[in-house]
Structure 1
């Protein structure tokens, strides 16, 4: 089942050369783990709440590869290039399979008092 790295990145005060370097180098850190960009800085259409900044979504074959990518020496070596200049949040999350049924999920949650 696919897993995702989602980053909510706030606008930087100003562009920085290290951010460009990060962008140039990140794909090489993703390749060994099967990571691919699904969303990368496209305009966000906010329908509820607020969303200052942009969204980056990277798909991995499974959560193990997402974790291994984030913890890899190659990614940790470049992480500061972005994090020092663009504040944000990053989460890793499992996706759902093609047979996902939200009504069945609600029924299970209700039965378990969740």
Structure 2
């Protein structure tokens, strides 16, 4: 079974306090669901049409595990704290 990667890119953060509250709960929720945060922060370098956006890369053992982590009550509780504080995009992609 291929690993899966959850890629979150933040287009904007309008309320850093909401982001901090989200981060306090989301990390433990993701870890409890089997996720491993591999990288997070602003890019060290961007190329082509890359944007200077906060990005988070999380590894899971499968796409199903990544979906379950996102849909879990613990993660949804964290996500509710972020509402209105950031505009972002989350993608789950399967490893090769």
TM-score between the two structures when normalised by the length of structure 1 = 0.74
The gaps in structure 2 that reach 5 residues or longer are none
Aligned match of 2:12: 11
Matched, 1:68 2:68: yes
Structure with greater proportional strand content: 2
The gaps in structure 1 that reach 5 residues or longer are 97-114
Structure 1 window deviating more from structure 2 (84-93 vs 45-54): it is 45-54
Query: Greater RCO between the two (CA within 8 Å, min separation 6)?
Result: 2
Q: Kindly tell me the number of residue pairs found equivalent between the two proteins.
A: 95
Root-mean-square deviation (Å): 1.6
TM-superposition CA deviations, 1:69-91 (whole Å, max 9, x none): 00111111111322421101101
TM-score between the two structures when normalised by the length of structure 2 = 0.86
